[in-house]
Structure 1
Amino acid sequence: MTTRPLGGVATGLALVVLAVLTGVAAQRTTGTGPVATTTTSTVPTGHTTTIAVTVDDMRFQPAQLIVPAGDRLIIALTNRDQRRHDLILATGAKTGPVSAGRTARLDVGVIGGPVQGWCSLPGHRQTGMTLTIATTGHAHETSTAAPAPEPTAAIDTLADPGAGFRARDAAVPPVPAGRLHKVALHVREVQLDVAPGVRQSMWTYNGTVPGPTLHGRIGDTFEVTLTNDGNVDHGVDFHAGALAPDEPMRPIEPGQSLIYRFTATRAGIWMYHCSTMPMLLHLGNGMYGAVIIDPPGLLPVAREYLLVQSEIYRGGDIAAMRADRPDAVVFNGYAAQYTHRPLTARAGDRVRIWLLDAGPSRDTSFHVVGAQFDTVYAEGRYQLEPSDPGGAQVLPLVPAAGGFVETVLPQAGHYPFVSHVMSDADRGARGIIEVTAR
């Protein structure tokens, strides 16, 4: 642990895709067209090969097309998936967006050698939506290698975000009146600060990461209107509801809306997130939030906070997501924000802290330095209560799990909190509770 000044006090810490393949039909006719490779020695045969390609569950089928060298190729692309896709070839030929149930014909031109293709929607190529055209002859392969990303500087989680910085309010919102809660969620793709000096495009619910917190009781009904104001398809999955996902969790296109209605039948803190494939990309770009359903008989406390732990990946890099290499690990969307703007309490206050591990991939082990937990509630049940003789030092959670801890902070001072996965505390999963005397 290292120290740095904070308000005159030395404080601180350095710390699916499932593929279902479908059939293909091919035929040869006569005709000519432009050469589809950079090879100049290809002699057109005067024949045209037409191949039917289908899209289903994030895959092209067939994924390899065999064409006689010199033939002109026509691809008849039929989208049998529930969402739009496209096909772009390394030669520059492309279909444009193809909606669900539609067919597009792509004139590739004369094939003189191997050509690669892919779907250009975010994350689709990286999760397997690729296609290769091969020939029975010999030619030079058209390069499809993506340019190497420019290196970026490491995130400095100790940097001061500046006098104008405002941390996200971590206070748990009150339960709204009534038993029916109508919620409007708008998908918005916005630029957000995620660390000092680091701003990037994020996919969000209502413009924030995490999205708005929903709070209710067992028996409450939530009627959520989801509207996609973004540029690609998105959806939502509420873990707090139990219902068939086919309709309410389906991805919707930009400009579309759906209504998702569920009744909370069990207590706990539940994750919601975008359910559109590849889910890793959508979660890694910020599309998640929390639903708190109070356990029956939950007593009021002096302070009640919510911390959602998640990972930040610079530039929405899905390769880094798949390799579990986050650039930062954060509470409530910004690295180490509560070291600069601490949570507050008074000496002797009972403090309840709800935790949700939104991931998408990393565990957490929540700890408050200088405090012991006399209450631990995780995944729908109490593991420790104040009447028990023992105490707890951490709340360990896997991705999508949640719970809360309670503690009484006895003295004025600064109580750091961290994920005790210390590499993640160093990446920004840390903060401070500033306790003042009564």
Structure 2
Amino acid sequence: MSRPLGGAAAGVALVLLAVLAGTVAQRATDPPTTVAAADVAPTGHTTTVAVTAKDMRYHPDTITVPPGDRLVIELTNDDERRHDLVLANGARTGMVERHGTARLDAGVVGATVEGWCSLPAHRQAGMTLTIVTGAGTHMAADEHGIETVRDATAPTTPAEAVHRVDLHVKEVQIEVAPGVRQLMWTYGGTVPGPVLRGRVGDVFEVTLTNDGTMDHGVDFHAGALAPDQPMRPIDPGESLTYRFTATKAGIWMYHCSTMPMLHHIGNGMYGAVIIDPPDLAKVDHEYVLVQSELYAGADGQVGDLAKMQAEQPDAVMFNGHPNQYAHRPLTATAGDRVRIWVLDAGPNRSSSFHVVGAQFDTVYLEGRRVLGPDDPGGAQVLQLGPASGGYVEAVLPESGHYPFVSHSMVDAERGARGVIEVGPAS
């Protein structure tokens, strides 16, 4: 008897899962560390799973099989290059051509089994798959395993000149890969925190309340004032009011001010404030991307400070999840002008923001416009260091898919990538 099963993928951390499982760093020739158990009692049932190879990933990349079931994988290659699937228990497909299919009999599954593509560097680049045993329950997710995608649409600029904001420190468990949870320190329960927006001359009154279990604070780069009082750490249960006037335009970082700041920023306590330049024109679409890094600690614990100090991120991401916009793209229409605000929250990695197939005719970097539509030249990247930001604009000329990445390619492979899906003009 056959049980169709669409096992959950870690779409929120497609690269991260391979890293956490310890497979990305292995060579394809390394001996397997986990194979199917030989002494599991066969159930007599067969679980059949459809797996798609696309964008140098398997979808899903985690398959849950009832213990003792025989597993059959139906592999479809939707990528523009050949792939195969090799399992640590010895089962493998042949090489599957573009748009081809193959059927793999994985045998009776009784324990975790790793899988990978055997072509040179494909496994190291993250093309891995994990088979686990369980009751067959899965995350409520789409076919890519993405439960919640952060809306990258920029907030509109409020009409009022005084912005009263309640900002709560929350320590929350976030699943960064199937079954792998991290305790993140956050503003408002999300990583990054909420995007705030205003104009030059606006006043921000931020009430910070510490709902966590340790001292936290906040530093708003959008304000200029002595840090002694408003940026002081506050104990659990305490509140403070942080008031500043936005005197300069730009996209500004805010982050926890408690030492060691490396640990607090690296564990999720950061966000963006947009202060509009006075001559900011309307565009067809406006997005915000905050680049940052993830340093995974022990399961259910906070991020690993030693990894942060060694600058060894497990993932690099836009808006808190690696690769989320690769499968839930940003959207536009051919001929639209698109503005993308980018903030590099770090805490360590620089960003070289690039949209494949687009040329930027407008570049705004750290408070000044360095390129405008009337200039003869164009730009290919927005180069940012940690805590810096700006925006770029481009007119996307025709329908299609325009990938965006940090052009530090190791970080793109770690998850700093996405897609703008452009539809035809009406």
**TM tier, shorter chain?**
0.5 to 0.7
What is the aligned partner in structure 2 of residue 207 from structure 1?
189
The structure 1 residue matched to 2:307, chosen from 320, 332, 339, is: 320
The structure 2 residue matched to 1:167, chosen from 146, 149, 155, is: 149
What is the aligned partner in structure 2 of residue 254 from structure 1?
236
Note closer, same or farther for the CA distance 1:12–1:419 as it changes in structure 2 (3 Å cut).
farther
Q: Is the 8 A contact 2:56 2:127 kept in 1?
A: no
Q: Is the 8 A contact 1:166 1:341 kept in 2?
A: no
How far off is 1:194 after superposition? 3.4
The structure 2 residue matched to 1:415, chosen from 397, 402, 413, is: 402
Mapped pair 1:364 → 2:346: no
Q: What is the rounded CA distance, in whole Å, between the counterparts of 1:218 and 1:194 in structure 2?
A: 37
Note closer, same or farther for the CA distance 1:356–1:12 as it changes in structure 2 (3 Å cut).
farther
Q: What is the rounded CA distance, in whole Å, between the counterparts of 2:354 and 2:128 in structure 1?
A: 20
Note closer, same or farther for the CA distance 1:249–1:192 as it changes in structure 2 (3 Å cut).
same
SS in 1 for 2:234: coil
How far off is 1:162 after superposition? 3.7
What is the root-mean-square deviation of aligned Cα atoms in Å? 2.6
What is the aligned partner in structure 2 of residue 234 from structure 1?
216
Note closer, same or farther for the CA distance 1:11–1:410 as it changes in structure 2 (3 Å cut).
farther
What is the aligned partner in structure 2 of residue 128 from structure 1?
none
TM-score by length of 2: 0.66
What is the aligned partner in structure 2 of residue 346 from structure 1?
333
Note closer, same or farther for the CA distance 1:290–1:164 as it changes in structure 2 (3 Å cut).
closer
What is the aligned partner in structure 2 of residue 406 from structure 1?
393
What is the aligned partner in structure 2 of residue 336 from structure 1?
323
Q: Is the 8 A contact 1:200 1:314 kept in 2?
A: yes
Please, which runs of 5 or more residues in structure 1 have no aligned partner? 14-153
The structure having more radius of gyration, on CA atoms, is 1
Greater RCO, CA 8 A, separation 6+: 2
How far off is 1:193 after superposition? 3.1
Note closer, same or farther for the CA distance 1:2–1:341 as it changes in structure 2 (3 Å cut).
closer
How far off is 1:373 after superposition? 0.2
Spell out the pairing of 1:32-47 with structure 2 (5 A cutoff).
none
What is the aligned partner in structure 2 of residue 52 from structure 1?
none
How far off is 1:340 after superposition? 1.2
The structure 2 residue matched to 1:269, chosen from 251, 258, 280, is: 251
TM-score by length of 1: 0.65
Q: Is the 8 A contact 2:192 2:268 kept in 1?
A: yes
Deviations 1:179-236 (A, max 9, x none): 0000000000001233566431100000000000000000000000000000000000
Note closer, same or farther for the CA distance 1:238–1:167 as it changes in structure 2 (3 Å cut).
same
Give me the identity figure in percent: 69
Note closer, same or farther for the CA distance 1:221–1:241 as it changes in structure 2 (3 Å cut).
same
Amino acid at match of 1:208: T
Please, which runs of 5 or more residues in structure 2 have no aligned partner? 1-53, 60-75, 82-123, 130-141, 298-302
Mapped pair 1:279 → 2:266: no
SS in 1 for 2:181: strand
Q: Is the 8 A contact 1:184 1:225 kept in 2?
A: yes
Amino acid at match of 1:405: V
Mapped pair 1:294 → 2:281: no
The structure 1 residue matched to 2:168, chosen from 186, 202, 206, is: 186
Note closer, same or farther for the CA distance 1:11–1:227 as it changes in structure 2 (3 Å cut).
farther
How far off is 1:165 after superposition? 2.2
SS in 2 for 1:400: coil
Note closer, same or farther for the CA distance 1:297–1:420 as it changes in structure 2 (3 Å cut).
same
Deviations 1:314-350 (A, max 9, x none): 0210000000000000000001100011111111110
Q: What is the rounded CA distance, in whole Å, between the counterparts of 2:279 and 2:78 in structure 1?
A: 40
How far off is 1:9 after superposition? 12
Q: Is the 8 A contact 1:273 1:288 kept in 2?
A: yes
Spell out the pairing of 1:22-101 with structure 2 (5 A cutoff).
none
What is the aligned partner in structure 2 of residue 395 from structure 1?
382
Mapped pair 1:305 → 2:294: no
Q: What is the rounded CA distance, in whole Å, between the counterparts of 1:362 and 1:5 in structure 2?
A: 27
SS in 1 for 2:217: coil
Note closer, same or farther for the CA distance 1:383–1:224 as it changes in structure 2 (3 Å cut).
same
SS in 1 for 2:411: helix
Aligned residues: 298
Mapped pair 1:245 → 2:227: yes
Q: Is the 8 A contact 1:161 1:197 kept in 2?
A: no
Q: Is the 8 A contact 1:239 1:270 kept in 2?
A: yes
